[in-house]
Structure 1
Amino acid sequence: MCRHIAFVGRPEPLAALLVEPGHGLFRQSWAPRRQRYGTVNADGFGIGWYADGDPVPARYRRSGPIWADLSFTDLARVVRSHAVLAAVRDATASGADGEAAAAPFASGPWLFSHNGAVRGWPASMGPLAAALPAEELLSMEARNDSALLWALVLRRLREGDSPAQALADTVRDTAAAAPGSRLNLLLTDGTVIAATAWGDTLWYLTEPGRRTVVASEPYDDDPLWQEVPDRTLLTATRTDVLLTELKEPT
């Protein structure tokens, strides 16, 4: 379920990354090529991007399908950025959260997205949620599994964990509490991208010094795209990509 993408590199229009590629996120909302779960990503979308000189990203999120939002396509034509995180949300059971449930979630310099599902939600995550301060639970933007995963990741970031460590530990703890969950997480601060492949597809494209793209699936047929093995942590900048195996929880 869901498709997401992160980019760091030389500034590009949002449209060049999301709309214009033949199989970009815009098209993936109704015709993904490698999505294993769900078929139509029409329950909301969001884009977060960074402006030069401002470490806090802007966001544009809506509760409807990306193809129906003419304001987005106009905005994407003129807005340029050196770092982007965007997502389209799989059609799911109806809920009251609407736009608030659409990634990316944000705090300070961070943008976050989750592609997947927590098995047994919400009961399976009770013990992990109980470990969070009440203030952080009450501050969650939405009442879905992705929002709780973001709260768990953010708690670790605030305690000083690196982006990679925050994702790896959150995936480990969630997989132990809810075996069989799909936990492809994506995080950026505008400079570093951290991501996990855990139960769903993840790919990356890198041209050192120019750009690095990490996505649920390739947006074109460039032979430089490489698939990330399942149970892998990815850490990337615009110059390099590091892959690290993730161990199953004991």
Structure 2
Amino acid sequence: MCRHIAALGPPLPLGELLIAPEHGLLRQSWAPRRQRHGTVNADGFGVGWYADGDPVPARYRRAGPIWGDLSFADLARVVRSRAVLAAVRDATLAGADGEAAAAPFAGGPWLFSHNGAVSGWPGSLAPLVRTLPADELLSLEARSDSALLWALVLRRLRDGDGPGQALADTVREVAEAAPGSRLNFLLTDGETIAATAWGDSLWSLAESVESVESAAASAAPVVSGPAAATGLRIVVASEPYDDDPRWREAPDRTLLVAGRADVLLSPLKEPAL
């Protein structure tokens, strides 16, 4: 259930990442190719992005399907960013939270999304709920498993854990409390991406692209050096948005951590049940 995507690299319009690709997030909202649970992701969507000079991301979220929001299509045409996280939602259970339940969730510089479901929700996570301060529970954006999972991850980040460690420890803890849960997480602060494959698909792509700024600069006469500089774009997603053979699937039970230059994979430990 759900589909999500994050990208780092030279600035590009949101629409080039989310709408234009043949099998991009827009199409994945009604025709995902690799989704293992659920079929239509029409119960809300959201996108978060970073503006130059501001570490706190902006968000645009709605309760309806992404294909029905013409305002977003217009916004996505002109808004550019070096770092993006977006998701379309197939709800686990019916609820009245509306766009508050749509990823990405946010806290400080962080954006977060959860693709999956917690088994036995909500009772299965009662022991973990007790580990959170009351003010953080009362500040949950929605009454959903994803919102609570984000609170657990954010608590670790605020305590000083790195993004990979925060995701890995939360997955292990939740999987121990609620066996059979599907816990594909996606997290970014605009400089790194961390993600988990736990019960659903996760793919990554690293491609060289020419930045608009570099191309414009190269149009001016230069004494020496390359005609145009290139940058590396890192994309992490539930599934590929095209058939580029450079896409790589992460094995199940894997932690992925990516910067602006590389993608690292490491196995996630199974909980001691």
TM-score (ref. length: structure 2):
0.91
- RMSD of the alignment, in Å? 0.8
Question: Whole-Å Cα distance in 2 between the matches of residues 197 and 186 of structure 1?
Answer: 9
CA contact (8 A) 2:92 2:117 kept: no
- 1:232 is aligned to 254
Deviation at 1:140, TM superposition (A): 0.4
**Correspondence for 1:72:** 72
Is residue 10 of structure 1 aligned with residue 32 of structure 2?
no
Q: How does 1:1-250 map to 2 (within 5 A)?
A: 1-207=1-207, 209-250=231-272
What are structure 1's unaligned runs of at least 5 residues? none
Instruction: Report how far residue 91 of structure 1 moved.
Output: 4.4
Bigger Cα Rg? 2
The AA in structure 2 aligned to 1:6 is A
Provide the rounded CA distance (Å) in 2 between the counterparts of 1:83 and 1:135.
30
CA distance in 2, matches of 1:224, 1:10: 18
CA contact (8 A) 2:66 2:88 kept: yes
Amino acid at match of 1:29: S
Query: How far has the Cα of 1:238 moved from its partner?
Result: 1.8
How far apart, CA to CA, are the structure 1 residues paired with 2:235 and 2:243? 14
Give TM-score, length-normalised by structure 1.
0.99
AA at the equivalent of 1:231: R
Provide the aligned length of Structure 1 versus Structure 2.
Answer: 250
Structure 2: how far apart are the matches of 1:129 and 1:205?
36
Amino acid at match of 1:239: A
* Structure 2 residue ranges without an equivalent (≥5): 209-230
Letter in 2 for 1:80: R
1:93 is displaced (CA, Å) by 3.4
Q: Measure the CA separation in 2 of the matches of 1:69 and 1:238.
A: 31
Identity score, percent: 79
SS at match of 1:210: strand
Q: Is the 8 A contact 2:111 2:189 kept in 1?
A: yes
Deviation above 4 Å: which 4+ runs of structure 1? none
